[in-house]
Structure 1
């Protein structure tokens, strides 16, 4: 009896290119579609939410506890988050990622809350009007798995380790990031502009450094976000200055102008 032919899987093997694409989609997202289960009916409830990445790459959202989607994730933390900009042309031809997540509320007063508040406001400065209201809270949408669609016939299934940095990789930079970001924005805006406009090939704008992590930096100008990856992940804060100076030098050599970091 002839064997039944095996059905060919549409899921590609996850490689470094897919991991970089997935991490970039999360790092560069300003908003996404959150799906949760409505407590009263169990029906999926989809809402647009604003997001920002924590240092390890976990998406963070700020939400009012009076909203329907917040009530849903507080009753059942299982949720999904769709990220990815449609861009020009066929929206289905552009990369997007669905994160299968579990929402974790972050209590006020601790270092985690302070870090998330700072990183979130760097992306969404208008949220400063209500971020400290008593009915608003930050939630980490902790990734349990992900489905990446890199375009037609480019489907991948990813695990947390493909996207999220290990705690030990972030630990050394946690105490340095806020000061480094402030220093660059206050004293070296010319270098920040070089990073965005030369190395990231972004249009000229009022660029600021939003955040740093061991793998790279995120730059913002209004609604625009540019991601600059380091050639080698940082393993110690002492290497940060060297990396920033080297990036500014490389940008000047490629045709930019400005001061060193």
Structure 2
């Protein structure tokens, strides 16, 4: 009996880039946890952001079923990727298996994560500081990318994490970096939206930077752009963004 061919393709840089964009551009995700009472998978929906190293972040109520499940067993899976026109299965999606780490008030990452989350989800300001809410960092362990029919890939958790010595420095200066960039180029977000062929919208703004890229947002629309190489500092990020916005195509 002949061995069946593997349905998986060899993971290449294009697959890694698509997986990172599917994860980092998602404003929400389906999350699956293990019900502590029954052991059955339990699925829900959560708002999603990313930390400076690209690790996905969720904000949840301590009263929710999935939060109680994560407190008992930190294993979780995220499903990201938006269906488009036609067959939903023809569009890319990513399942990321993660280990959840709680980030409560007073944690050294809390303020950074809070700022980045609100930049993407400003309406969360209504409840983000309630005492019964907390963040989880969902560190990727491995992932499965389906980029469409016949295009399946396996990824390691490290393929989705920004492993840069500049992470902390860039995070500390992120708000100042964006503010300075906008002061020099007031139309930079609109120029980026035009260059990236974003949906037409009244106002776009930069809502996140990191060594690997940036996001722009307008209402429910969010676009992620990945740099060709990791930026080494904030000036490098500004230079990259300016070139993307204003260079001749």
Q: Deviations over 1:160-202 (max 9, x none)?
A: 121111152523312221211233456644111101122x111
Q: Which residue of 2 aligns with 1:12?
A: 9
Q: Which residue of 2 aligns with 1:56?
A: 53
Whole-angstrom CA distance in 1 between matches of 2:12 and 2:122? 35
Task: Work out whether 1:221 is the aligned partner of 2:227.
Answer: no
Instruction: Using the TM superposition, name which of 182-191 and 230-239 deviates more.
Output: 182-191
From 243, 247, 254, the equivalent of 2:240 is 243
Q: Which one of the candidate residues 96, 100, 110 is aligned to 2:97? A: 100
Q: Distance in 1 between matches of 2:97 and 2:175?
A: 29
1:72 deviation in Å? 0.5
Q: Following TM superposition, by how much is the alpha carbon of 1:114 offset from its aligned partner in structure 2, in angstroms?
A: 1.0
Higher mean displacement: 169-178 or 58-67 = 169-178
Does structure 2 retain, via aligned residues, the 8 Å contact 1:185–1:209? no
Query: Are 1:154 and 2:125 matched, yes or no?
Result: no
Distance 1:143 1:16 in 2: 18
Q: Comparing both chains, which one has the higher relative contact order based on Cα–Cα distances under 8 Å and sequence gaps of 6 or more?
A: 2
TM-score (norm. length: structure 2): 0.94
Specify the SS of the correspondent of 1:109. Answer: coil
2:204 equivalent in structure 1: 207
Contact kept? 1:59, 1:142, Cα under 8 Å: yes
* Contact 1:184/1:209, CA 8 A, preserved across alignment: no
RMSD across aligned C-alpha pairs, in angstroms? 1.6
CA distance 1:183–1:230, shift in 2 (3 Å)? same
Query: Partner residue of 1:43?
Result: 40
- Provide the residue aligned with 2:66 in structure 1: 69
1:135 counterpart = 2:104: no
Alpha-carbon distance in 2 for matches of 1:246, 1:78: 40
The 1:71–1:185 alpha-carbon spacing in structure 2 relative to 1, beyond 3 Å, is farther
Report the alpha carbon displacement of residue 53 of structure 1 after superposing the two structures with TM. Answer: 1.3
Equivalent position to 1:191, from 184, 188, 191: 188
Question: Residues 81-92 of structure 1: matches in 2 within 5 Å?
Answer: 81-92=78-89
Aligned residues: 248
Greater displacement, 86-95 / 239-248: 239-248
* Partners of 2:125 and 2:244 in 1: CA distance: 31
CA change 1:22–1:196 in 2 (3 A) is same
Structure 1 gap segments, 5+ residues each? 255-261
Q: For residues 188-234 of structure 1, what are the alpha-carbon distances to aligned partners after superposition, in whole Å with 9 as ceiling and x for unaligned?
A: 44111101122x11123210101001121100001101122223321
Deviations 1:11-68 (A, max 9, x none): 1110000000000001110111111111111111100111011121111000000001
Compare CA radii of gyration and give the structure with the larger one: 1
CA distance in 1, matches of 2:162, 2:96: 16
TM-score, structure 1 length as denominator? 0.90
